[in-house]
Amino acid sequence: MVKWTPEVLARAFQACRDTVATKGLAEAHRFSFEVWKRGIDAVFSRLTADGLSRYKEGLGKSISLLNLRVLGPKDPVLAVIGGRLPDPATTLIVWSLLFGARVIVKPPGEYPFFLKTLVSCLDQYITLNGAIRVLEVSADSSELKALLKSVQHVLIFGSDETVKKVVLQRVPESITWFRDRESLELILEQPPQNTIEGIAMDVVMYDQSGCLSPHVIAFKGTFEEALVLGGKLQRALEDLQEHLTMYHPLKLEDRARIRLFLEKAKREGGVLMGGSFVPQVVVIKRPIFPGPGFRVVQILPFEREDDVTKLLHPLRARIQGLAAYPEEVDLSFLIRELGPAGYITTPGKLQKPPLLWVEDGVLLPLQMLNLTRNKL
C-alpha cells in the first residue's frame, strides 16, 4: 500500500475541511451547525504538515523507548465505530494513511454521513485506491461476520453493546476496544473568569456526547463557595448558548432522562442554578452517575482529598480526560485512586487532544502496526 507523506496528507485534509463542515452534516449528526463547525475546526487544525510530521516522529520515539521494531502495518484492519463525533474516524484515517495500512471502516448505522463524505473527498485529492473502505452494513450482516473472522485486527470505538456483538464473533486477543468513558474537571480554588469560560466551552462542545466531555466538576471548597462558582458557570453557559446553540428538538427520551435527573438531584439536596431546562449547573454533595449530558453539569464541592476520591469512585478506570486548575497542581491523589487519565490539560482544552495521545489506556496507532521486540 502507498504511504502518503505528511505534506500530501495535510493538503488533502485541509482541502476537505469545508466539505465536512456543512450545515447538512451537522444536522445529520444531530448537532447545531455552530457546534459542529467548531468541532471540525478543532480536529482539522491539528492536521498540518508540521503537526503530522511531529506526531509521526513522536510515535517513532515511543516505539524505540518500548524497545520495539515495526515490521509493517497490520493488513487489513477492521474498525467498528460507534457514536456521532467526527474525531475517531478522522484520527483513524490519518494514521492509516501515514502507515500505508488498509482499513475497512464500519460507520455508525445512524450516522455514516461524515465518514462517507470525508473518504469521498480525500479520494479526489490523493486517490485512495481502496486504502480506506467504508462498509455500510448492519451489525448482524453476513459480510461483517465474515470480515470479523478474516481480518488481522479489529478496532472498536463504541458502547458496551457494540463490543458485546463483536466479541461474540471474534477472538478477544485480536481486538482493541476504545470504550465509552468520560472526563472530569478538577478545580482547586475559585477560578478566574477566563477559566470559567473554558469550563463552559468543554461542557458545550458536542453537547457532552463525547468521551472528552465533563459531566462533573470536582471543586475544592465549601458548598457555599461552590454555589458562587455554579452561578458564574451558569451565566457562562447561557452566554455560550446564544452563539453555540444546542441541537433541537431533543428526542423525547432525552428530555425525559434530563427531567428525571434534575428531579432526583433536587430530592438529594442539589441546587439548580439555571432558570431554564438546559443548560443547567447543579451543585450537589453527592454526584449522580451517569449524568444525562445535553449541557447538564454537576459541581461537587469537597474539602478533603479522601472525600472526593470516594465520591468519584464510579469513575474509577473510566476517566478519559482531566482538566485541572491551577495548571501546576499535584494530581497524584486523584490518579492513585481513580486510575490514570489518557489526557491531562487545562479547562477549555479538553476537546482538543493531540493526535497522539493515550486513549483508553492505549496508543491507537500502535494497534495498527505489526511490532516485534528488539533483542537486548
Per-position DSSP letters for 78-130, written without gaps between them: EEEE-SS-SHHHHHHHHHHHHHT--EEEE--SS--HHHHHHHHHHHHHH--TT
- Distance (Å, rounded) from C-alpha 300 to C-alpha 312? 9
Looking at residue 321, what DSSP letter applies? E
Do 118 and 249 fall within a single domain?
A: no
User: What is the average per-residue pLDDT within 228-257?
Assistant: 95
- Distance (Å, rounded) from C-alpha 26 to C-alpha 42? 15
Residue 368's domain is classified under what CATH number? 3.40.605.10
Per-position DSSP letters for 246-287, written without gaps between them: PPSSPPHHHHHHHHHHHHHHHHTT-EE--SSSSSEEEE-SS-
Do 214 and 263 fall within a single domain?
A: yes
Do 91 and 220 fall within a single domain?
A: no
Do 336 and 190 fall within a single domain?
A: yes
Do 98 and 201 fall within a single domain?
A: no
pLDDT on residue 297: 98
How does the average pLDDT of the chain come out, rounded? 91
- Distance (Å, rounded) from C-alpha 370 to C-alpha 77? 11
- Residue 1 belongs to a domain: no
- Residue 350 belongs to a domain: no
Encode burial over 317-354: b for 16+ CB neighbours within 10 A, e otherwise. Answer: ebbbbbbbbeeeeeeeebeebbeebbbbbbbbbbbbbe
- Residue 191 belongs to a domain: yes
**Percentage of the residues of the chain whose pLDDT score is greater than 90:** 60
- What pLDDT digit, counting tens, does each position of 115-129 carry? 999 999 999 999 898
For residue 173, what are the domain limits? 6-180+360-373
Interaxial angle between packed helices 223-241 and 193-204, expressed in degrees from 0 to 180 and rounded to the nearest 10: 60
- Residue 116 belongs to a domain: yes
160 pLDDT above the threshold of 90: no
- Residue 76 belongs to a domain: yes
* Residue 220 binned pLDDT confidence (cut-offs 50, 70, 90): very high
Cell 501515514 -> residue: 98
> What is the domain count for the chain?
2
- Residue 353 belongs to a domain: no
Do 317 and 276 fall within a single domain?
A: yes
Do 85 and 127 fall within a single domain?
A: yes
Interaxial angle between packed helices 6-15 and 87-99, expressed in degrees from 0 to 180 and rounded to the nearest 10: 150
User: What is the average per-residue pLDDT within 1-26?
Assistant: 93
- Distance (Å, rounded) from C-alpha 209 to C-alpha 16? 24
Do 159 and 253 fall within a single domain?
A: no
Do 204 and 229 fall within a single domain?
A: yes
Lowest mean pLDDT among 141-145, 151-155, 349-353: 141-145
pTM: 0.93
- Residue 368 belongs to a domain: yes
Most confident option among 44-58, 142-156, 327-341: 44-58
Counting DSSP H helices and E strands in the chain, the numbers are 14, 16
- Distance (Å, rounded) from C-alpha 370 to C-alpha 300? 44
Do 35 and 134 fall within a single domain?
A: yes
- Residue 355 belongs to a domain: no
pLDDT on residue 134: 95
**Cβ 272 vs Cβ 266: under 8 Å:** yes
C-alpha cell at 207: 453537547
Do 159 and 274 fall within a single domain?
A: no
* Residue 376 binned pLDDT confidence (cut-offs 50, 70, 90): low
pLDDT on residue 175: 86
Do 196 and 321 fall within a single domain?
A: yes
Residue 282's domain is classified under what CATH number? 3.40.309.10
Looking at residue 7, what DSSP letter applies? H
- What pLDDT digit, counting tens, does each position of 59-116 carry? 899 899 889 999 888 888 999 888 899 999 999 999 999 988 889 999 988 899 999 9
- What pLDDT digit, counting tens, does each position of 162-172 carry? 666 776 777 65
